[in-house]
Each structure stands twice: as C-alpha cells, then as structure tokens.
Amino acid sequence: MIFIPFPALPAIPASCSTPSEIPFNDDKLPDPFLFNNGAKGYEAGTLPPKPPQVSSTFTQSGLTGNLTVTAGFPDNTITFSSPIKFPNGTAPRAGWPLIIAYDGLSIPIPDGIAVLTYANSAMAQQNDQSSRGVGLFFDVYGQNATASSMTAWVWGVSRIIDSLESTPNAQINTNKIAVTGCSRDGKGALMAGAFEERIALTIPQESGSGGDTCWRLSKFEQDSGDVVQQATEIVQENVWFSTNFDNFVFNISLLPYDHHSLAALVAPRPLLSYENTDVEWLSPLSAFGCMTAAHTVWESMGIADSHGFVQVGNHSHCAFPSDLNPTLFAFLDKFLLDEEANTTVFETNGAFNGTVWNPAQWINWTTPRLV
C-alpha cells in the first residue's frame, strides 16, 4: 500500500476500529490528499528494514573507487560491489555529491559530482518471468520473499547509503545523493526516490508504464487505439511488481492509488522526470497526465519548482539530447551543488498520437495549501 506523507486525518476515537481493507473503485485518479488506511500491499511488495548486519570496505585508486557492501543476517550475508567515479580536484568539506546510477549513467552531469554505478540487476534479476526470486536480495530473504524486483533494488540502494554514511574516507556527502536510471531502470529509480528518504534528488528517464505514468491513463490510451504498455501487459513481461498486483490489472479502478501517488512520495524532495514521445509504448499522454496530477502535491507545498517534467521527441530511447542539458543541470546545480538555478520546468510537446488529455476527466480534487 502506498501512503502519502501529508497531515493526518482527524483522530479515530479509541472505541472505533479501522477496517483491514477499505473498498475502493474509481476510474478517475485517486485524490492524493486523502488517505486510504487499508492494510494490503498492492503493487511493490514488502520492503524489509535495515538488516542487523551491514558493513563495508572502500578502496580508491586515482579517480576510481570501489565500495563493497556486506549485508544480511549473522548466518546469511551477501556481498556486492559498486564502482565510484570521482571528479577531479579536492573534495568539498562535506564530501562530493553523488549520483547512484542504475546499471550505468545515461545522462550527462556537470563537474563536481561523483557517480556510483549500481548493478541492480544482480540484486534482483529482471530478465523475464523466470527471474522472480532470483538475485542477491533473495539469497538473503529467500526465493519466496514478497518483495518485487524493484523493491529489492531499493533495499540495495539503502544498504549503499548505509555504508557510505559509515565510510567517511569515501568523501561522499550523504545529504546530497541523487538516483537515476532509464527505461526499466528509470522505474526503479523512481521507486527508490519514493521509498528511500535519504535520496535528495530523483531523476527517472523514460520510465514509462510502471514509472512516471498512471495505470488508469495508460489503459485509457490503449483503449483509445494507441499501442502502449499497460498493466495487463507489464505483469506478463517481467517481475518488476509484486504478484499481488496481478489481482488488479484487469480492473485497475480498484487500486486506491496510482503512480501520481508514487511520485508524490518523493515530495517535498525534488523530482525531475524525462519522457520521450517518439517511443509510443512509453505512454506519452499517461506520463504527462500522471505527472500533472502529481505536480499538485508540490504545488500544495508551495514548492512547484522542485518538481520538473520534460517530454520531447526526436531522439532514440534512453538517448539524452544536448538541448535538454539546461533543465537537467539546473536541478543538479540547485539540489546537489547548492548553486542558484531556475528549476521551474513542466512541459510537453503534446504528441499524444491523437488521444486528448482532458485534466477535468481525471483530476477531481482541489489542491489545498499545506503549511
């Protein structure tokens, strides 16, 4: 279940009990400013807390370092390593800002930021349906653990941050950590930003369905004649989501959330999302509509410039056109390098394959002003 971190509803009297599951059915996007207190897990599966054993070693030669993490239980641990590429020069007093890049970096970065390459596919495989329960995470928690592959990846990111916090000689500023990835790894990056509160900036690139799009909107696109990836297809392709999600993909209106709620979990921390309208299965209308709905959360907090969205075409999947550099560098400058920058950006080329985005059809809440 996804909960949104907003002010609590009025207290329930002690004599009343909260039902274990609250029925829900809505074709519109659920209001992200209301709680649903059901106990079920719908999509991501279970994210275990920090295990009792977490230790690390760090080595560096020139501008290349290596962080080796050991994590798990006294009788069952795993070990994985992540290379770190450091900038030239002397580290700032607080350490270098860092980008954790799922399966490698696919965006440019300015000087002064270190990059850690995270082998998330080793943590939890994502080949096809046969990948479920396979990977280092499941070596710790068992093949039948209820985590999805993306949840397992978040667990690995958290152990990396744990280790960096206890490894001062790595000279990483653990208050200035970003996460990014493209396509399937963009889905994972968004999930990490949502559930790991120590991530200071989240940059999913072309994450598509299961990332910065909404299941309801992707179904609408598919029903309108577009060829997009919707829930019924994505659960057949891979193991990114919990098997619980299979129970909802044929009636997505029963979900008491959608991915605007997932994005909202990042708030008030900054989120910058890139999408590509040339790749139809990325659900271009769904991405714009979903992030439009999510944007109301940052607006409600008075920090709309902490949520950016850019949707263009004329480039191949996971390529990054150089004319997008200014928006990207603005977010990196402001939120990792503590420099002045204008991060007000929310734009699309509107290439939705003839399908019309009508916000009133999907968003029926009034954005409150939260203090």
Instruction: Report the CATH number at residue 108.
Output: 3.40.50.1820
In this predicted structure, what is the pLDDT of residue 13?
Answer: 40
pLDDT in tens, 95-150: 999 999 999 999 999 999 999 999 999 999 999 999 999 999 999 999 989 999 99
pLDDT in tens, 224-263: 999 999 999 999 999 999 999 999 999 999 999 999 999 9
In 3D space, the residue among 13, 244, 257, 52 whose CA is nearest the CA of residue 132 turns out to be 244
**Domain-located, residue 332:** yes
Instruction: Specify whether the CB–CB gap between 297 and 309 falls below 8 A.
Output: no
By annotation, the residues acting in catalysis are: 183, 317
pLDDT in tens, 330-348: 999 999 999 999 999 999 9
Percentage above 90 pLDDT, the chain: 89
Q: Are strands 64-73 and 53-61 parallel, antiparallel or unpaired?
A: antiparallel
In DSSP terms, 204 is beta-bridged to 181
In DSSP terms, 82 is beta-bridged to 67
**Domain-located, residue 124:** yes
**Domain-located, residue 242:** yes
Give residue 40's pLDDT band: very low, low, confident or very high (50, 70, 90): low
The residue with tokens 């072309």 is: 206
CA–CA distance, 267 with 305 (Å, rounded to integer): 11
**Domain-located, residue 93:** yes
In 3D space, the residue among 109, 70, 106, 104 whose CA is nearest the CA of residue 84 turns out to be 104
Reported as half-sphere exposure (CB side, CA atoms, 13 A), residue 236 has a value of 7
Structure tokens at 203: 């940059």
| Mean per-residue pLDDT, 44-48 | 92
| Mean per-residue pLDDT, 22-46 | 79
In this predicted structure, what is the pLDDT of residue 25?
Answer: 80
In this predicted structure, what is the pLDDT of residue 37?
Answer: 63
For residue 272, give the amino acid letter: L
The sign one gets for the Cα dihedral 249, 363, 351, 207 is negative
**Domain-located, residue 6:** no
Q: Which domain holds residue 125?
A: 53-361
Structure tokens at 288: 């714009």
Structure tokens at 274: 């890139």
Instruction: Specify whether the CB–CB gap between 102 and 180 falls below 8 A.
Output: yes
In 3D space, the residue among 159, 107, 151 whose CA is nearest the CA of residue 336 turns out to be 107
**Domain-located, residue 371:** no
Structure tokens at 103: 């399966």
The DSSP symbol for 136 reads H
In this predicted structure, what is the pLDDT of residue 371?
Answer: 73
| Mean per-residue pLDDT, 34-39 | 66
Total domains, the chain:
1
Mean residue pLDDT of the chain comes to: 92
Give the pTM.
0.92
Structure tokens at 252: 């997505």
Instruction: Specify whether the CB–CB gap between 295 and 363 falls below 8 A.
Output: no
For residue 53, give the amino acid letter: Q
3-class SS of residue 107: coil
Instruction: Specify whether the CB–CB gap between 276 and 320 falls below 8 A.
Output: no
**Confidence check: pLDDT of 7 > 50:** no
The DSSP symbol for 10 reads P
**Confidence check: pLDDT of 19 > 70:** no
Number of Cβ within 10 Å of residue 178's Cβ equals 25
φ, ψ (nearest 5 deg) of residue 221: -60, -45
CA–CA distance, 103 with 119 (Å, rounded to integer): 5
**Domain-located, residue 13:** no
pLDDT in tens, 292-306: 999 999 999 999 999
In this predicted structure, what is the pLDDT of residue 167?
Answer: 97
**Domain-located, residue 39:** no
Instruction: Specify whether the CB–CB gap between 202 and 178 falls below 8 A.
Output: yes
